[in-house]
Amino acid sequence: MFTDSHCHLQLLDYNKLGIDMDGVVQNALDNHVGMLLCVCTHMDQVAELKAIADKYVNVKTSIGLHPNEEITHEPTLDEYLLAQAHPHVVAIGETGLDYYRSAPDNSLQKDRFRVQIRAAKQCDKPLIVHTRNARKDTIEILRDEHAETVGGVMHCFTEDWEMAKQAIDLNFYISFSGIVSFANALDLQEVAKQVPLDRMLIETDSPFLAPVPLRGQMNQPANVRYVAEFIANLRNIDVKTVAEQTTKNYQKLFKV
């Protein structure tokens, strides 16, 4: 049984897919994807995501604010803490730093990241961290805020082995998406060979980043098995081993 540790059911275009959310969740189950984590990117999604997690027994969710979201009101620590108080909210995020789409001196992103780390520590829930072109600052902020006390996951990891090691040392898991299967992702594939299996997660980040052989299509949780299959081939191990260990890791990290 596979686990999709990061998807966005709230962002899929169901008209384009030709099926509704029930169909997507059932399609995941039909492809042996037993558990899904539906991740928040904007606090306006919180009520919808809680309703989704209430409806589907195999779906958990998070609360958080993506670094690139442009909003008029920055949530306070108390607002994050209030929002997370729900039995199916198992994490804070996705949060982090993304300098690919904004200037690297973006103090707003850094402040937003720090507040969410503090929320995670106060409610004792792990972090879902998005990081892009921000290796140094991401690690420094995690260290400064002592994020290792709650740990978490570096979602959709695309950085180098040095950053992966630093994150693992800070009690974080490394999660691979369909990007690892792309032909031009040779450096990332080397990282996927080195990350210990007991510190690895797999994800779709759907509706984004469909893996080979579905690249270019709208992604959905059922496709996480292709990520597992690619990593298994890369490491010359059985796909069942990848499926079982990443599922155990998911259950341990998110207390599912």
pLDDT tens across 171-203, in order? 999 999 999 999 999 999 999 999 999 999 999
> Which residues does the chain have with pLDDT short of 50?
none
- How confident is the model at residue 104, as a pLDDT? 61
Q: Where are the beta strands (DSSP E) in 74-223?
A: 89-98, 127-132, 152-154, 172-176, 200-202
Nearest to 224 by CA among 233, 216, 214: 214
Per-residue model confidence (pLDDT) at position 103: 67
pLDDT value at position 101? 78
| Domains of the chain and any CATH numbers | 2-254 (3.20.20.140)
- Residue 102 has a pLDDT of 75
Going by C-alpha positions, the residue among 73, 71, 50 that lies closest to residue 60 is 50
